[in-house]
Amino acid sequence: MCAQEQNESSNLPDGHRWLSLDEHSKYAYIVGFLEGMFLGHCFTTWGLPGGMKGDAPYQHAADSYNVYWKRFVSNTAYRKFLEGIDALYADAENRKIAVRDAMWIVMNKVSGKSDTVMKSMIEAFREKTYESTESQDVDRAIYFRQNLVH
């Protein structure tokens, strides 16, 4: 891994950073993350050919977002995200996991994933903290497709 990749991946906010935040800052992060998900959805649908209701690619993107939003976010209070991330980072072995990944871990936990799946997921993120960002993204995508999204 080149020095630039190391620096970029090590600058991601992680558990050490999270634990240094006060409660208001943690809530601000959670709200920003979730609002960012919505904006990402908008960016995706705005760029689609046709880009209107009734257009198959647009409808697929909108349906996908809505299904996963309902499964992982809509019925979860912000407090649950905060408590879940705090609990994850209470274990010092998890503190190098990026906060964005901690959000995904908590989303899966509150959606009812089994303890076995959660343990495997956390372990996978622990192992990935030292790899390049590009490698992490590819590995995560494969892991999510095989184990978490269905």
The domain limits of the chain are 3-148
The pLDDT value given to residue 60: 85
User: Distance between CA atoms of 103 and 130, rounded to whole angstroms?
Assistant: 19
The Cα-based distances of 86 to 22, 44, 103, 105, 150 in angstroms read: 11, 31, 11, 12, 27
pLDDT tens digit sequence for 58-113: 888 888 889 999 999 999 999 999 999 999 999 999 999 999 999 999 999 999 99
Closest listed residue to residue 124, CA positions, set 149, 145, 105: 105
Q: What is the mean pLDDT of residues 128-141?
A: 60
Q: Which two tokens stand for residue 32?
A: 């920003």
The pLDDT value given to residue 47: 72
The pLDDT value given to residue 3: 33
Tokens 């999270």 -> residue: 18
The pLDDT value given to residue 127: 87
pLDDT tens digit sequence for 10-50: 578 999 999 999 999 999 999 999 999 999 888 888 877 76
Task: Please list the alpha-helical segments (H only) found in 73-114.
Answer: 78-90, 99-110
The Cα-based distances of 33 to 30, 107, 135, 141 in angstroms read: 5, 12, 22, 19
Residue 120 pLDDT greater than 80, yes or no: yes
pTM for this model (two decimals): 0.75
Closest listed residue to residue 120, CA positions, set 130, 135, 108: 108
* H/E run at residue 64: helix 56-72
The pLDDT value given to residue 133: 55
